Amino acid sequence: MKFLLFIAGIGGLLYGIDVGIIAGALPYLESTASVAWRLSAQQLGFIVAAVLLGSVLSSLFAGALADWIGRRWAMVLSGVLFTLSIPLIALADGYVPLLLGRLLQGVSGGLIGVIVPLYLAECLHARQRGRGAALFQLLLTIGLVAAAVVGLLQAQSVETATAAARQLGDSAREAAVFAAKDHAWRSIFWWCLTPGLVFTIGSLLLSESPRWLARRGRMEEARTALLRTRPADEAEAELREIRQALAPANTGDSGTAAGAGTGANGRAAGSEAAYRASPRTGESLLSRRYVLPFLLACLILALNQATGINSVLAYVVNILNQAGLPGATANAADVALKVLNSLMTIVAVVLVDRKGRKFLLMLGTGCIVVALVAAGLLFRGVEGEQRDVRPMLQAQIQSDSLSLRLDAETLRALSVQSGAPVQLTVAYSYGPFTNVQTRRSDDPALPVLRLSREDTVQPDSVIGVFFRKLHLNPFADPADAKNAALRIERADIAAVPPAAHGWQVALAMCLFVAGFAVGPGVCVWLALSELMPTRIRSNGMSIALLINQFVSTMIAAVFLPTVGEYGYATMFFGWAGCTLLYFLTATFLLPETKGKTLEEIEAHFARR
């Protein structure tokens, strides 16, 4: 059992790396890719969201894949895909290969997110199931810590290179800083290769899920798998429950099916008959006995992402930078947040089978609401001091483009009198194509702020043409921007917040992460695997995680444009409202499932 938990934990580690690795890499990717590859804020948002989009795509077929080839081989496949994604990302020389690599990484993460909790739920005893899911989440948080530590190490190397380049001329200094940042984000991804290999090889050595074997009529193999983690008497009792749950629901003959035959052949025949009567041939996810647990699990999975957790973890360095913490300090705070996440997950491991899922969810979501409201108020105070410089920038536009460097001369032109560092945020558009860029006067490289049509208007795509032919228009048409003038939608300049403000925001983020770790972080995997009845578990989990990843993808995709246009406070207040709904759901709709077998939980909803 220890080996099973170890490999499942490595799966959680990979899932955490999927979510967290971009946080440390994004500042350097943003600095280099926007110059070398001319990526817009929308494209950078897509790169961040690609992992989540890949998870959505794989969630569509994860349950069917796990039913077809088995839980173990599906885990092997997810490990292979993750391993292949690393060189594709780290060696990328443009937007498309980087996006494809992140999509592949997301496909792997989506499979892991469905199949590993499914595998744990079907293999572990009811007494250990909560702890097993908590261990998955614990290793997930350790993956976040590992990603943050790697990001911190690379941040320190970039600062060292930047300090050494101060003595150089402008062009040489800019080239040296660019090379250091480009090397940093690529190195961050290379560090992820080893755990991918460990998970892939370890999954090959696991046994198959006993419930999957039972659904295939392979009862002796199911018994053997149960005996790996249970005493003989408990294994036999649980095997009887499994056979009863698999018996046809409409015959009232489950006892006969469960007891058919005393030998291996009789048991196999009874189970195979039950398997043929499974919902594939009669019942659906929306059958009366399944609809309540299915919809409840979907609601919890959606609200879990609506807290904003994945975007906070992905953008935390950017958030703390905007709050007033300098580069390496923000990276160090990121590491501290990820360590806190792991420590509070250990607390959840201890409490989840003692206090129960409902209590932890209520406690965690309550803390998250307080943290998000506090962070929103802190940013609202700073964002209220911004000064509109849009007319000044609009007047400097020449030939529908604008180029400036936030040096002393530009600051004087923008009527900035003090010597304190300032930050300029510009939102602009060419017809339907929009972008947001930010520059700080204390950036040692002083990169040029360049607003141009070729950097903003994305080339047409086969997908865009296809949707427009269907008279659907989710993608902007480049033809509409061909002759459109450059329009400055918003241009605000303000002093960079003091470090004390940054630390206050960091404390709010600590409360956010602690609340999520002790409640939703662990309990979401239990809700995903425990609430679904056996007959619909794999496909139901797949759909619920699809909804989860869809919500997360949408939040990640709109994060940068939204905070550029409306500020961070708006995002935090929106997440707080969603989390309040999560708290009410946990309080009034979620039943307690601790200490109950999967079949007992299913019986509870059947009675409802």
Return the domain boundaries, the chain: 2-206+287-381+501-590, 210-276, 387-496
Higher pLDDT, 480 or 34: 480
Residue 597 banded pLDDT, cuts 50, 70, 90: low
In 3D space, the residue among 115, 489, 512 whose CA is nearest the CA of residue 315 turns out to be 512
**How high is the pLDDT of residue 515?**
94
Cα angle 158, 21, 366; round to 5: 120
Q: Identify the pLDDT of residue 507.
A: 94
Distance between CA 393 and CA 398 in Å, rounded? 10
Return the higher-pLDDT residue of 239 and 537. 239
**Residue 139 token pair:** 């290793």
Best CA proximity match to 14, nearest among 244, 166, 202, 287: 202
Q: Phi-psi region for residue 399, left (φ > 0), alpha (ψ -120 to 50) or beta?
A: left
Confidence at residue 367, expressed as pLDDT on a 0 to 100 scale: 95
> Which is more confidently placed, 305 or 19?
305
Give the integer Cα–Cα distance in Å for 171 and 178. 11
pLDDT at 269 over 60: no
505/507 Cα distance (integer angstroms): 5
Task: Pick 263 or 440 by higher pLDDT.
Answer: 440
CATH class (in words) of the domain with range 2-206+287-381+501-590: mainly alpha
With a CB cutoff of 8 Å and minimum separation 6, the contacts of 603 are none
pLDDT of residue 36: 67
CB 55 within 8 A of CB 549: yes
How much of the chain, in percent, has pLDDT values that exceed 70? Answer: 79
Range of weakest confidence among 6-15, 258-267, 286-295, 483-492: 258-267
Residue 502 clears pLDDT 80, i.e. is over it: yes
Measured between alpha carbons, how far is 526 from 382 in angstroms, rounded to an integer? 39
pLDDT, one tens digit per residue, over 352-371 is 777 878 889 999 999 999 99
Q: How far apart are the first and last CA of the chain?
A: 35
What tokens were used for 417?
Answer: 């009198």
Assess whether pLDDT exceeds 80 at residue 493: yes
Query: Do 392 and 414 meet the contact criterion of CB atoms below 8 Å apart?
Result: yes
Q: At what angle do helices 71-90 and 193-204 cross, to 10 degrees?
A: 160
The pLDDT assigned to 132 comes to 67
Residue 320 has pLDDT above 80, yes or no: yes
Over residues 506-518, the mean pLDDT reads: 93
Q: What is the DSSP string of 2-35?
A: HHHHHHHHHHHHHHHHHHHHHHHHHHHHHHHHHH
Tokens 């190490």 locate to 153
Predicted pLDDT of residue 334: 79
Average confidence score pLDDT of the chain: 77
Q: Which two tokens stand for residue 113?
A: 């997110």
Is the predicted pLDDT of residue 488 greater than 90, yes or no?
Answer: no
Q: Which residue has the tokens 């919500």?
A: 551
For the question of whether the overall pTM of this predicted structure is more than 0.85, the answer is: no
- Distance from chain centroid for Cα 223: 36
Both tokens of 229, joined, read 């983690």
Rounded to whole angstroms, the Cα distance separating 464 from 215 reads 43
Contact status, residue 187 vs residue 156, Cβ threshold 8 Å: no
The whole-number average pLDDT for the span 418-442 is 79
Sorting pLDDT into bands at 50, 70 and 90, what band is 177?
confident
pLDDT, position 134: 67
CA atoms within 13 A on the CB side of 199: 32
Predicted local distance difference test score (pLDDT) of residue 598:
64
Of 198 and 531, which is predicted with more confidence?
A: 198
380 or 315, higher pLDDT = 380
Say if residue 596's pLDDT is above 70.
no
Q: pLDDT of 444-470, one tens digit each? A: 767 788 888 877 776 655 445 544 554
Instruction: Give the pLDDT confidence score for residue 129 in this predicted structure.
Output: 64
Please state which of the ranges 95-99, 307-311, 474-478, 558-562 shows the lowest mean pLDDT. Answer: 474-478
In this predicted structure, what is the pLDDT of residue 262?
34
Q: What is the pLDDT of residues 102-161, one digit of tens each?
A: 889 888 888 887 788 778 777 777 666 666 666 777 777 787 777 777 877 887 787 787
pLDDT one-digit tens code per residue, 383-401: 877 888 888 888 888 888 8
Kind of pairing between the strands at 422-430 and 433-440? antiparallel
CA distance 157 to 127: 47
**Which of 24-38, 489-503, 580-594 shows the lowest mean pLDDT across its residues?**
24-38
pLDDT band at 429 (very low <50, low <70, confident <90, very high): confident
Counted residue by residue, the chain has a size of: 608
